[in-house]
Amino acid sequence: MDTFALVVTIGVALFFTYTNGFHDSANAIATSVSTRALTPKAALAMAAVMNLAGAFMGSGVAKTVSEGLIQTPVGSKGMGILFAALVGAIVWNLITWYFGLPSSSSHALFGGMVGAALAGGTTVYWHGVLEKVVIPMFVSPFVGLIAGYLVMTAIMWIFRKANPHKAKRGFRIAQTVSAAGMALGHGLQDAQKTMGIVVMALVIADVEDYGDPIPVWVKIACAVMLSLGTYAGGWRIMRTLGRKIIELDPPQGFAAETTGATIMFTTAFIFKAPISTTHVITSAIMGVGATKRVNAVRWGVAKNIILGWFITMPAAATVAAVSFWIVNLAFL
């Protein structure tokens, strides 16, 4: 196996993780920054550290990505498939970041994998894609919406007799914990997705055997790149999540972050499903906002976000397929 191809593919995978970090940094900190619970710099630093820690908390999601979605391709063609999958995901990440649209980096990666695999003639495990990607893609936003609504309703009832100013001050402090939980869950989920891709590249190159544990250096590299990307910040998307959907106050921010973090930990540890942190936190914000009044949520903005969710996988798959054909024509 060409060592250069392996190095290039791993380099592109790490760059994808970097784009994932700055694309999704808003998921962890937008609510805390918008409610002024944390300053932007403090929030980004905290998110970067917690992303780093979360990356070392498990490997179930990485195993799903490396073994459960497509058959591990072989040879130079297999490395070309991985390279094209990553290009598809990166291109879609950059497009949605530019327009400030909080789409899913996870589903961009999965769409890229499926599109490149189909273009390269590699078997797609459709049952795994349906069970681990498509079903969670539809279910998790509904869970986030309903859970966010219920958590916020419970908070409103529990603190119904509290002094509003004191309660907001307390929740502003509590948001530092809930935002840290979101960042930890983001690291747990999203760093592992790239780990799965890197492991697949190592298997193709005969450096690792199928089913081997994830090398420590892979965990460190993916975690560090995700943290660096997170610290770089994604201000365009942060404005959408923190302000454009609904104007959040500290109790609402705490409820949304707590809901999102809980869902991410549950799906990672129990179901080993690589869900979208973007889908979860965005839908939780919508659910929390709906407790104020239904029209408090700017549903026009929400509609555009949801539309982006639906087109992410096919768009990334298309870019990946075209990328594979170019790579195949030029190098394979």
Residues 127-163 have pLDDT tens digits of 999 998 888 888 888 899 999 999 999 999 999 989 9
Question: What's the pLDDT band for 304 if we cut at 50, 70, 90?
Answer: low
| Arithmetic mean of pLDDT, 279-300 | 78
Q: What DSSP designation does 241 have?
A: I
Is the pLDDT at 80 greater than 60? The verdict is: yes
**8 Å CB contact between 184 and 266:** no
Is the pLDDT at 113 greater than 90? The verdict is: yes
Residue 124 bridge partners (DSSP): 70
CA 130 to CA 125: how far, in whole Å?
9
- pTM, rounded to two decimals: 0.87
Q: Which helix (H) or strand (E) holds 93?
A: helix 75-98
Question: What's the pLDDT band for 267 if we cut at 50, 70, 90?
Answer: confident
Candidate from 85-94, 201-210, 284-293 with smallest mean pLDDT: 284-293
| Arithmetic mean of pLDDT, 56-67 | 84
How many beta carbons lie within 10 A of that of residue 1, not counting itself? 16
Q: Give percent above pLDDT 90 in the chain.
A: 38
Cβ neighbours for 251, distance < 8 A, ≥ 6 positions apart: 152, 155, 156, 159, 167, 168, 171
Is the pLDDT at 87 greater than 90? The verdict is: yes
Q: Give percent above pLDDT 70 in the chain.
A: 90
pLDDT at 64: 85
pLDDT per residue as tens digits for the range 197-249: 999 999 999 898 888 889 999 999 998 898 888 877 665 655 555 455 556 78
pLDDT per residue as tens digits for the range 24-57: 766 667 777 777 788 878 887 888 888 888 888 8
Greatest mean pLDDT among 83-87, 176-180, 204-208, 304-308: 83-87
